[in-house]
């Protein structure tokens, strides 16, 4: 959530968003883009780390399926951007 949601969504629309990962060991949320780019989205405190665990467990149960929503605040009824994502293991 950000007051700059419209600008962020516009930038992300031009980016090849691949997925969101919670790196629990490093306590970071990372957005993966194209083949080799990562962006630090947030550093996770203790309560956010617990949410990260639940997020990663949910992704695993759903076969990697997850989504990213950009909005101004929790009451924003019209998101500025929504991406449906799926992590896939490359063998």
Assign 76 a pLDDT band (cuts: 50, 70, 90): confident
Helix (H, G, I), strand (E, B) or coil at 57: helix
Predicted confidence band at 87 (pLDDT cuts at 50, 70, 90)? Answer: confident
| 90 vs 55, higher pLDDT | 55
Owner of token pair 């997020």: 55
- Which pLDDT band, with edges at 50, 70 and 90, does 90 fall under? confident
Global pTM reads 0.83
Report whether 22 contacts 55 (CB < 8 A). yes
Task: Sketch the domain layout of the chain as residue ranges.
Answer: 5-86
pLDDT digits (tens, 9 = 90+) for 16-67: 999 999 999 999 999 999 889 999 999 999 999 999 999 999 999 999 999 9
């Amino acid at each position: 959530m950000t007051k700059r949601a419209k600008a962020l969504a516009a930038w992300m629309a031009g980016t090849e968003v691949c997925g969101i990962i919670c790196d629990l060991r490093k306590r970071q949320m990372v957005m993966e883009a194209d083949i080799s780019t990562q962006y630090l989205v947030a550093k996770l405190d203790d309560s956010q780390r617990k949410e990260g665990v639940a997020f990663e467990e949910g992704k695993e149960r759903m076969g990697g399926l997850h989504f990213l929503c950009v909005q101004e605040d929790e009451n924003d009824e019209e998101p500025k951007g929504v991406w449906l994502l799926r992590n896939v293991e490359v063998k």
